[in-house]
Amino acid sequence: MSANLQKGDRWSEVIGRELSQHHVGIICVTPENLDASWLMFEAGALSKSLGTARVCPVLLGIRPSELTGPLSQFQATMFDKPDMLRLVRSLNTEFGAESVSDAVLSEAFERSWLSVADAVRAAASIQIGAESMPHVLRAFAEYGLPEPSFSNNAFFREGFESHAIYSIACAIARQRLYVFGRKNRKLFDKEHADFFAALSSKRAEGLDFKCLFLDPDSPPHVISVAHASPEFREELIRCIATANAQFVAAGLDPNDYARLYRSPRSLAYTVIDDAVTYTPIRFTTTGHADALTKTGFVVINASSSMGEGLVRDFLTIWNAGLPMGPIAH
């Protein structure tokens, strides 16, 4: 249609003029375009232009109760086999004497339905953006969930548990730096030695540093799923020894800054002042926790409900943690 519009044309009038030659207008409505202003405008223009003809919204991934504005005045069709068959039968009546028998129509519909449904499912699998958020929030509200609270957040496609993240955290943290890791190897690499050398003075200035390591003496079922490497426990022991040496070299008591935990975890995260960076623990097909170095992660406000929950959980695990002492081999 856009190719037939001249620059400066009122597209709603052109569309109405074109559709005046037909009896039915079909609008496909998805979670992504449900609130689109252009769709609302077009639906209103169509309803005025078509007069006694019909506008048929076809709903993909939403319910009729979610329709608002001009779209809500029309009888909608769900994209499922029974409702689409009813729509096709209804459209068939528009052909009058040229309509086909119900037997022919039903046979043709049955023959075509699977390929049409597969094509729609393939289109629905394309990654969508944040436009679907309002749809999800509306659905939550419809089922009686309380009003959400909003705070700043950001999604990064990769980089969690990288040297860069630890370098940034060590450089900018002023109030608190909580690390809920596993081996924490990169944090205690030599390139961050300056941070630990200055940690005593940073603590005097108000920085609260806490780091949790997985205990190598955790129950076997915890150790077995924590990492795919068969040498994971030995690697963990070496990382804890390196951290202890880093603390001692800086004149610090490791037990003031690091503790061991023994429970499985579903998230890995770091609290940097008023921000929380986190990523879900992903598991391989063998049931082992996957590497996190190149995974995406989310940064949320520590004062949000989820942020407060993560900080609270960290401190609970910290308070129940074990001291950084000799590890049984």
- pTM over 0.75? The answer is no
Comparing 14-18, 240-244, 322-326, which segment has the lowest mean pLDDT?
14-18
Burial of 83: CB neighbours in 10 Å, binned 0-12, 13-18, 19+: middle
* Residues 86, 319: Cα–Cα separation, whole Å: 62
- Longest Cα separation, the chain: 94
Q: Read off the pLDDT of residues 80-114 as tens digits, 9 standing for 90 and up.
A: 999 999 999 998 988 888 899 999 999 999 999 98
Contacts of 239 (CB under 8 A, 6+ apart): 183, 184, 185, 188, 213
Q: Are 257 and 247 in contact (CB under 8 A)?
A: yes
Give the confidence band of 328 by pLDDT, cuts at 50, 70, 90: very low
Residue 62 vs residues 132, 139, 144, 208: alpha-carbon distances, Å: 11, 9, 17, 47
pLDDT score for 53 = 63
Give the confidence band of 149 by pLDDT, cuts at 50, 70, 90: low
Residue 201 vs residues 4, 110, 177, 212: alpha-carbon distances, Å: 71, 75, 15, 21
Instruction: Tell me the pairing of strands 77-78 and 267-272.
Output: unpaired
Q: At how many degrees (to 10) do helices 81-92 and 102-124 cross?
A: 130
pLDDT over 50 (residue 315): yes
Q: Read off the pLDDT of residues 201-258 as tens digits, 9 standing for 90 and up.
A: 999 999 999 999 999 999 988 888 887 778 889 999 999 999 999 999 999 999 999 9
Take residue 16 and report the two structure tokens written for it. 């109405």
Dihedral sign, Cα of residue 105, residue 107, residue 111, residue 114 = positive
The residue among 288 and 248 whose pLDDT is bigger is 248
pLDDT over 70 (residue 131): no
pLDDT over 80 (residue 181): yes
Which residues partner with 59 through β-bridges? Answer: 29, 78
Range 247-254 contact pairs with CB under 8 angstroms and sequence separation of 24 or more = 247/196, 249/193, 249/196, 249/197, 250/193, 250/196, 250/197, 250/199, 250/200, 251/200, 252/196, 252/199, 252/200, 254/324
